[in-house]
Amino acid sequence: MREQYVTVAGEGVHETEVNRSRFICTLAPAATEEEAQAFVARVRAGHADATHNCWAYVIGADAGVQRASDDGEPGGTAGAPMLQMLLRREVRYAAAVVTRYFGGVKLGAGGLIRAYGGAVGAALDTLGTVTRRRMRLVTVTVDHQRAGRVENELRTGGREVREVRYGAEVTIELALPEAGLDAFRAWLADATAGTARLQPGGEVYGAA
C-alpha cells in the first residue's frame, strides 16, 4: 500500500471563464468506479444543455483505474488534461466533470488543454484537498469500568475511533499510524493498569 494519497475534501463546484466560454468544474470524492460513473451521469444530467460535459476520474491509492472523456471536444484536449491534473496533484478516489458553455470564441487545441486542465487545478485549489495516510486497525478490549475514560481519552487525543461495541466487555476499534503502535500499546497498558487487550488488524487509509 502507498503510505498516503490526496483526495478532494468534498463535493463542490468552481467556475472559470476563458474567452467568454464558461468552464464549470464539479469535483467529488469517489470510493469506487461505480460511484464515479454515477457522479458523472448526475452532473451531465444537471447540465444537459451544455456544449460539453468532459470528465475524468482516478480510483485506487495506486491510481489503478484511470478514465477520461473529451465528450465531443477534439481528441486529447479535454479529458486527458483533466486526468493529468488529477494525477500531477496526486489526487486519488476522485472524479471531475468540466462543463463548458461555449462563448463564441474558438480556443484551439492548446487553449482547450489549458482551459480544461486549468479548470480542474483551480477547483482543487479553491475547494481544497485532504491527505489520507496508511493506518493500522486495532481493537482494544477493556472492562466496563475503564472503558468510558479510555474512549474519552482516545477521542480527545485525536485518535480515529471507528466503532465501539458493548458486551461482556467493551471493544473499541480505532486506526493508528503504524509507527505509533508501540507507543500506543505502552499508553494503553499504563491507562488500564495492564488489563486491556490490544489486537492489531488490517490496514486502511485514514485522516493524516
pLDDT in tens, 46-62: 999 999 999 999 999 89
What pLDDT is recorded for position 203?
Answer: 82
Question: CATH 3.30.70.240 spans which residues of the chain?
Answer: 131-207
Task: Report, as an integer, the average pLDDT of 187-195.
Answer: 92
Task: Report, as an integer, the average pLDDT of 16-29.
Answer: 95
Task: Report, as an integer, the average pLDDT of 149-174.
Answer: 91
Least confident of 45-54, 109-118, 135-144, 177-186: 177-186
- Cell reading at 206: 485514514
Contact 38, 21 (CB under 8 A): no
> 155-164: long-range contacts at Cβ-Cβ below 8 A with a sequence spacing of 24 or more?
160/135, 160/206, 160/207, 162/137
Residue 17, pLDDT > 90, answer: yes
Give the confidence band of 189 by pLDDT, cuts at 50, 70, 90. Answer: very high
∠ CA 179-59-18, nearest 5°, is 115
- Cell reading at 175: 486506526
Q: Which residues of 81-105 are buried (b: 16+ CB within 10 A; e: fewer)?
A: bbbbbbeebbbbbbbbbbbbbeeee
Give the confidence band of 208 by pLDDT, cuts at 50, 70, 90. Answer: low
H/E stretch holding 68: strand 65-69
Residue 3, pLDDT > 80, answer: no
What pLDDT is recorded for position 54?
Answer: 98
Decide yes or no: CATH 3.30.70.240 for domain 131-207.
Answer: yes
Residue 160, pLDDT > 90, answer: no
Rounded CA gap, 197 and 208, in Å? Answer: 25
Return the sign of the alpha-carbon dihedral for residues 184, 186, 189, 192.
negative
Question: CATH 3.30.230.30 spans which residues of the chain?
Answer: 4-127
Decide yes or no: CATH 3.30.230.30 for domain 4-127.
Answer: yes
Task: Report, as an integer, the average pLDDT of 83-88.
Answer: 96
